[in-house]
Amino acid sequence: MSKYRVGFIGTGKNRKNPSGLGYAMAYLHADGYKQLSDDCEMVACADIVEENARLFADTYGFSAVYTDYHEMLAKENLDIVSICVWPHLHCEMTVAACAAGVKAVNCEKPMALTFGEARTMLQVAEQHGTVLVFNHQRRFGLPFRRAYELAHRGELGALVRMEAAMGDLYDGGTHWVDMLNYFNDESPAEWVIGQIDAREDRRVFGAPVETQAICHVKYRNGVYGLFATGQGMHTLGCPFRLICEKGVIEVGADSQSPVSPDPGPMLRYRVDGVADWQSVDCKDEHLHGPGYIERAMADLVDCLNTGREPELCARHAMNATEIIFACYESSRRRGRVDLPLTITDSPIGAMIEKGKLAGRRHPTPEG
C-alpha cells in the first residue's frame, strides 16, 4: 500500500515559549506523523510567511512550500491535511480541503469561531466522505483512560455528576468539556444554563473568551455537569472530579495543579465509608502528556486503514462545542437553553461587540 501524503496548512514558528499567540502545533503534528513513517509521508506545507514554511519543510525533510494553501491543495494530491491555524480560519480551510478530495482533515481545536461554522464543517466533511478530526488529544492519556475505567467498572456505582475547572470555556475549555463527554459515554446534553463575565479583554488565538464563568449542564442520560472558569475555577479544588453513587474520582489533584489546594497524585479515588484516598499509577503522564498527540495521529491513520470512526471524530467535538456555545447563549438569553442549539453566531462575540457583558462599557448613542 502506498503511503498517505500529508500536508500542513499553517506552520507558524517553532516556539520555545508557546502562548495564546502560538503553540507551534504543526510541529507537534509532524512529530506524530514522523513516528508513522511506514504509513505517512510528509510532502508539503503552506504558510502566509514563506520563511516559516521553508523552515518547517527543512526540519522534516521535504521541499514543497506554498504561501497559498489553495495552490497546495490543487497541486499536491494530499491524503491527510493538518490545519494548525487560528480558529477563525478553520471552517474555510476545512471546506477547501474536503472539496479537494483529501481523505482526512486533522484540525486543531476549537472547532470554529461561530457555531454555524462548526456545523458547516461537520456537514461538508460528511458530504465529501472526508474523515474530520479535532485534536482533543487528552482522550489518549492514561489519567483519563484510567479515570474512565474507574467510573464504569462498578465499584463506585453509577456516575452522577461531573465537575471541571478550566481557564476559559472556549479555548482550553474545549478539552475539558470534551473530556467530560468522554467520561459520560458521549451522552449529548439536554440543557445548559450559565453566566459569564468578560470585564477584561481576553483573547486566545484571536478569539474572545470570558474572564469568569459558571455553567450547569444536564445530559440526556441523567448525569449533571458543573464547570467553573477563570477566577471561579479555584472553588472546585481540582481540574476534574467525577462523583459516583458510591465514591469520588479526582483527576489532576497533584502538586502542579493551579486549582488543587490539597495536592495528591495525578489520579485518585475514594470509596464512600473509607477515609483514605486510593492513588492510581499513571506512570509519568499528566494533564498534558507526554505522547498524547502522537497517539492521536496514530489513531487517525489506523482509522483510515480500517474504516472505523476515530476517537477524535467531529461528532464528538461537536458535542463539546454545542455545550460551550450553549453556555454563552444562556448568558445572552439570561435563561436556560434547551438543546439542540440552533444559533449560527458566537454569542460571546456578539455580546462584546454590543457592550452587553458585565464589566464592559455599554455603548452610548454616539458610539
Per-residue pLDDT reduced to its tens digit, 32-58: 999 999 999 999 999 999 999 999 999
Distance CA 135, CA 138 (A): 9
Alpha-carbon gap, residue 211 to 202, rounded angstroms? 7
Burial classification of residue 65, based on how many CB atoms lie within 10 Å of its CB (0-12 exposed, 13-18 middle, 19 or more buried):
buried
Are 333 and 187 in the same domain? yes
Burial class (CB in 10 A: 0-12, 13-18, 19+), 305: exposed
Q: Tell whether 127 and 262 lie within a shared domain.
A: no
179 shares a domain with 73: no
What does the pLDDT read at residue 165?
95
pTM to 2 decimal places = 0.93
Identify whether residues 299 and 230 lie together within a single domain. no
201 shares its domain with 269: yes
Strand order from edge to edge, sheet including 131-134: 64-66, 40-46, 4-9, 80-83, 104-107, 131-134
Same domain, 296 and 250: no
CA distance 263 to 256: 8
CATH of the domain at 263: 3.30.360.10
Same domain, residue pair 208 and 261: yes
Q: Which domain holds residue 225?
A: 138-287+313-367
Q: What is the pLDDT of residues 357-367, one digit of tens each?
A: 865 544 433 33
Mean pLDDT to the nearest integer, 129-158: 97
Do 27 and 156 fall within a single domain? no
CA–CA separation, 362 and 356 (whole Å): 6
Asked whether residue 121 falls in the same domain as residue 259, the answer is no
Say if residue 210 is in the same domain as residue 67: no
**344 closest CA partner among 77, 104, 84, 114:** 114
- Residues 239-273: pLDDT tens digits? 999 999 999 999 997 655 666 656 679 999 999 99
Residue 16 has pLDDT above 90, yes or no: no
Spatial distance between the Cα atoms of 10 and 83, rounded to a whole number of angstroms: 6
Count of domains forming the chain: 2
pLDDT: which is higher, 77 or 361: 77
pLDDT at 28: 95
State whether 78 and 218 are in the same domain. no
- 266 with 330, same domain? yes
